Amino acid sequence: MSQYQIGPVGRTYSEGVLRVLFGVFLAIVAIFLVLWATPEPFAIVTVLMGLFAAREWHRMVRSPAQREIAELHIQTIISASAIACAVAALLFKFVLLAFVFLAAGSAASFLWARLRRDNPVWHAVCVFYIGLPSLALVSLREFPAQGVWYVLGLFLIVWATDTGALVFGKLVGGAKIAPRLSPGKTWAGTIGGSITAALVYGLYIALWFGFDAILAMIFAFAFSVVAHGGDLFESLVKRHFGYKDSGRLIPGHGGVLDRMDSMFAASVVLALLVFGLGFNPLFGGRV
């Protein structure tokens, strides 16, 4: 998520109100879905968000010659179908088949774009860029014994990182991290976001579980770097193709990709830690 500099007062206030209102609404919906007794609603909404994200990605990476041709939905259908099939396979615990669906979708997207001479590599990347986080989120929610709390903790780290970065970036300002890549991102916002993530996650672990809050804070501070990296990567892609925002679906936030860029990176890395290394992000209880 982007850190914006302070602009005209009226515009800043109205945008800030919209950002807060829709941010709170989306957070409530996300928490409700995670806490639902069965994983299917969470998985369905994850796929739905993937569909909107795929549409934004394919629109963004189109070659100039193809941007006026109304065939974008074919690429979106390819990516969304592959992701939906992969998530469904994962729910039935066919993990290998889930990755086969993603690979097949990526290949189909590449071939279709190559046929149209339309940046085939960038289109093919979409299936994995959105599909892997979708699998990561659903698997983290479904498979570990404490998966619900893993995902809630992940959400808190990413949300706190984004919110802290926005607040500290506005209040402190200062030197920019990458002026050409993302002019609004400052070192103060980045460090402030990481500190906020550490404090929020430490409270989550200490007050809700009574586990090791110090280790949790150290982990959250370090892990927030992944969230920052996801934000910067999407900024890189947007600047490369000449876009400021990926879309306008979410008032005050931009598009789905603008809202989920940090989450995409963080979910994949956490899934690798949990399933690859047996890491317990709650620092207590059962994996």
pLDDT tens, position by position, 19-35: 778 788 899 999 999 99
The rounded distance, in Å, linking the Cα atoms of 2 and 260 is: 11
Backbone phi and psi for residue 71, each to the nearest 5 degrees, phi listed first: -125, 15
Query: Where do we find the tokens 């189909």?
Result: 108
- As a whole number of angstroms, the distance between CA 258 and CA 53 comes to 9
Q: Which residue has the tokens 């394919």?
A: 58
Burial (CB < 10 A; 0-12, 13-18, 19+), residue 287, is middle
Which structure tokens are listed for 189? Answer: 């916002």
Query: Tokens representing 54?
Result: 């795929």
Adjacent-strand bridge partners of 250: 254
CA atoms of 112 and 120, how far apart (whole Å): 8
User: Can you give the C-alpha Rg of the chain in angstroms?
Assistant: 19
Give alpha helix (H) positions in 143-181: 147-171
Mean pLDDT of 120-125: 96
Half-sphere exposure for 106 (CA within 13 Å, toward CB): 18
Question: What's the mean per-residue pLDDT of the chain?
Answer: 89
Q: What is the pTM (predicted TM-score) of this model? A: 0.91
Q: Which amino acid is located at 225 in the chain?
A: V
Where are the domains positioned within the chain? 1-35+146-287, 37-143
- Measured CA to CA, the distance from residue 104 to residue 268 in angstroms comes to 20
- Condensed to tens digits (0 to 9), the pLDDT of residues 137-151 reads 999 999 999 999 999
Percent of the chain with pLDDT over 90: 70
